[in-house]
Chains A and B, each alone.
Chain A
Amino acid sequence: MKHVIVGAGPSGVIAAETLRKVDPTSSIILIGDEPEPPYSRMALPYYLIDKIKEEGTYLRKSSSHFGNKDIDIIRDRVSTIDPKNKSLNLEHHDVINYDKLLIATGSHPITPPIEGMDLPGIHSCWTLEDGRNIVNKAKPGSNVVLMGAGFIGCIILESLALRKVNLTVIEMGDRMVPRMMDQTAGNMIKSWCQDKGVSVHTSTRVDAIEKGSGDSLKVKLDNGEVLDADLVISATGVAANIQFLDGSGLETDEGVLVNDRLQSNIADIYAAGDVCQGKDFSTGEYSVQAIQPTAADHGRIAAMNMAGKDTVHQGCVNMNVLDTMGLISSSYGLWMGIDGGESAKLCDNDRYRYLSLSFEDDVMVGAQAVGLTQHVGVLRGLIQTKLNLGKWKDHLIKDPTRIMEAYLANTQAIGHNAGVI
């Protein structure tokens, strides 16, 4: 059996390793189009602040890791796929045939339709190469404009602030991380950043970017303001890398359409990670989540199915955790709540603490937290196990911080009548 995986990010790497484990005699090829060994984009913000060297971003630390597992890495870009002949055309290598194919090509930063986005001095923060460019240009005291205060924008924000640049953030939504957290939390994060000396403009758009004097840029905002910038970083969202699939017969929408085995409309082709429109645990619908835990789950499950071990994907809980200049926030599932569902909220604006839990009947379906680092994972546990909370739902409405107790009370023998002794 010959497995070919396109994309050497977390999903592709985990799929390759899983295949080696469950299909030991197969041949496995992993194709990536970047020059470095497989690395993690998640780690780039820590590279930007010199917490780690480039090697620190690598997904696997041992240089012989892939060789030892007999996983062939090819550095090239797939130009087209030919499902009829079960083959791939590469830009520089000969045609590669496959028995089973995994599309794990991830996503790319989108360029907003704004005049001047092609000027030098405007960068995304997506690849190690982008990281090197930013490290070179984001010197202490330089003027940096960050477009987008979504998840990625907020993560880079901290790195930039730590590099002691003069930072201005422009977000068109009415708050920070609008697709991850509600008004209360988004504004709490905004006021935290402003308090730390970062200028944050929400409900603001960039109209155009023009060349300024020397190497600098002029960023024109829709409120008439013009900002001088030595560096503009664009973090306005990502989209799945599906362009190369045009004409292949593979069905796509936001990403590659798959069933609950992560199998595409073509039987021998699977998809995983940011490029895959997989099942969402909370909604039951198929959407692109583009998060690390989902990429890891997809990689494993797709590989099991490719190896002929039928494995159902139950759906991933959408979740994020973010550190914005020391303020840690997280959100899970249907954090925005549901119609007719109850919620439990605890908010302390002065201390930057917020916890919001959403319920459907007595089951937790979503949560968001600001300033909470202890036991946050149990929020996932409560949501994904669909635990019936019984009277603990009322306890949580009175005091949402008792999430661990609610979990333990419903999963462990702790009551008077536990009867263990």
Chain B
Amino acid sequence: MLRSLQIEPEKCTGCLQCEMACSYQAEGVFNPSKSRIKIFTFHDEGRFVPYTCTQCTEAWCLHACPVEAIVINEATGAKEVIDDICVGCKVCTIACPFGTVNYNQETAVVQKCDLCGGDPECAKACPTQAITYVDSDHSGLERMRAHAAQNLPQDNA
């Protein structure tokens, strides 16, 4: 069973524990700026929105890479950066239309969500289950419905 990160912004309190957990798992430091998942703040709406790579099928980052440094983990479906092969050219960072591949100047390679190899720390750290790791077939439908409904009557948020 392929699993995906399911994100439900309405449950997010903006505590940033996911960012801390991600940064610690990926870089060994508690530094939200190193996190692959980011919480965006909407003060006017009183909302926090966690956002990270959706491991999209199109995988613009993977196709744009000139040296085959982004590969698919067949077990998790994640598109993973191989640090030893990445030259740091950053083409993937402009190719990803979701903005979820970032260049890390300290390591001189790019970084993106790799689903922690199938046991994502962000989901475990989230105290409100705004981030869960669920069967891919069951993710997204509610959010698609909500987004469609939100756009129905008039203008969006």
Chain A interface (Cβ < 8 Å from any Cβ of B): 10, 14, 40, 42-43, 46, 51-52, 56-61, 292-293, 296-297, 300, 319-321, 323, 326, 328, 330, 332, 373-381, 384-385, 390-391, 403-405, 407-421
Q: Tell which of B15-23, B118-126, B142-150 binds the partner.
A: B142-150
Which residues of B from 1 to 52 have beta carbons under 8 Å from A? 8-11, 38, 40-42, 45-47, 49, 51
Closest approach, in angstroms, between the C-beta of A342 and any C-beta of chain B? Answer: 19
Chain B interface (Cβ < 8 Å from any Cβ of A): 8-11, 38, 40-42, 45-47, 49, 51, 60, 63-64, 66-68, 85, 87-105, 108, 142-143, 146-147, 149-150, 155-157
**Please, which residue of chain B has its CB at the minimum distance from the CB of A421?**
B10
Q: Give every chain A residue within 8 A of B10 (Cβ-Cβ).
A: 418, 420-421
Q: Which of B42, B100, B104, B147 contacts A377 (CB 8 A)?
A: B100
Q: Give every chain B residue within 8 A of A419 (Cβ-Cβ).
A: 146, 149-150
Say whether B45 contacts A377, CB under 8 Å: no
Q: A56-B67, A59-B66, A332-B94 are in contact. Are A414 and B100 (CB under 8 A)?
A: no
Q: Give every chain A residue within 8 A of B97 (Cβ-Cβ).
A: 377-378, 380-381, 384-385
Q: Give every chain B residue within 8 A of A403 (Cβ-Cβ).
A: 99
**Please, which residue of chain B has its CB at the minimum distance from the CB of A300?**
B63
Say whether A375 contacts B100, CB under 8 Å: yes
Q: A330-B94, A391-B155 are in contact. Are A416 and B46 (CB under 8 A)?
A: yes
A108 to B156, CA, bound (A): 48
A379 to B147, CA, bound (A): 21
Q: Give every chain B residue within 8 A of A378 (Cβ-Cβ).
A: 97-99
**Which of B90, B94, B150, B156 counts the most A-chain CB atoms under 10 A from its CB?**
B94
Q: Give every chain A residue within 8 A of B68 (Cβ-Cβ).
A: 59-61
**Which of A377, A411, A415 counts the most B-chain CB atoms under 10 A from its CB?**
A377
New contact pairs (6) apart from A61-B85, A323-B90, CB-CB < 8 Å:
A293-B95, A321-B93, A375-B99, A377-B94, A380-B94, A407-B98
Say whether A390 contacts B156, CB under 8 Å: yes
Say whether B87 contacts A418, CB under 8 Å: no
Q: Give every chain B residue within 8 A of A385 (Cβ-Cβ).
A: 97
Q: Give every chain A residue within 8 A of B103 (Cβ-Cβ).
A: 328, 373
Closest approach, in angstroms, between the C-beta of A41 and any C-beta of chain B? Answer: 8
Say whether A408 contacts B156, CB under 8 Å: no
A56 to B104, CA, bound (A): 20
Decide if the interface of chain A is mainly helix, strand, loop or mixed. Answer: mixed
**Which of A61, A404, A414 counts the most B-chain CB atoms under 10 A from its CB?**
A414
Say whether A57 contacts B95, CB under 8 Å: no
**Please, which residue of chain A has its CB at the minimum distance from the CB of B157?**
A415
Q: Give every chain B residue within 8 A of A58 (Cβ-Cβ).
A: 67
Q: A377-B97, A381-B97, A413-B143 are in contact. Are A56 and B150 (CB under 8 A)?
A: no
Q: Give every chain B residue within 8 A of A57 (Cβ-Cβ).
A: 67
Q: Which of A319, A373, A377 contacts B98 (CB 8 A)?
A: A377
Closest approach, in angstroms, between the C-beta of A290 and any C-beta of chain B? Answer: 13
**Please, which residue of chain B has its CB at the minimum distance from the CB of A415?**
B157
**Which of B45, B49, B64, B103 counts the most A-chain CB atoms under 10 A from its CB?**
B64
Closest approach, in angstroms, between the C-beta of A22 and any C-beta of chain B? Answer: 15
A374 to B93, CA, bound (A): 9
**Please, which residue of chain A has its CB at the minimum distance from the CB of B144?**
A413
Q: Which 10 A-B pairs have the closest CB atoms?
A: A378-B99, A415-B157, A381-B97, A375-B99, A413-B146, A40-B66, A377-B96, A46-B87, A42-B66, A413-B147
A409 to B9, CA, bound (A): 11
Q: A404-B40, A412-B49 are in contact. Are A43 and B146 (CB under 8 A)?
A: no
Q: A377-B99, A412-B49, A418-B146 are in contact. Are A42 and B89 (CB under 8 A)?
A: yes
Q: Give every chain A residue within 8 A of B85 (Cβ-Cβ).
A: 56, 61
Q: A330-B94, A414-B45 are in contact. Are A373 and B102 (CB under 8 A)?
A: yes
A80 to B89, CA, bound (A): 35
Closest approach, in angstroms, between the C-beta of A416 and any C-beta of chain B? Answer: 6
Q: Which of A61, A293, A374, A390 contacts B94 (CB 8 A)?
A: A293
Closest approach, in angstroms, between the C-beta of A225 and any C-beta of chain B? Answer: 34
Closest approach, in angstroms, between the C-beta of B12 and any C-beta of chain A? Answer: 10
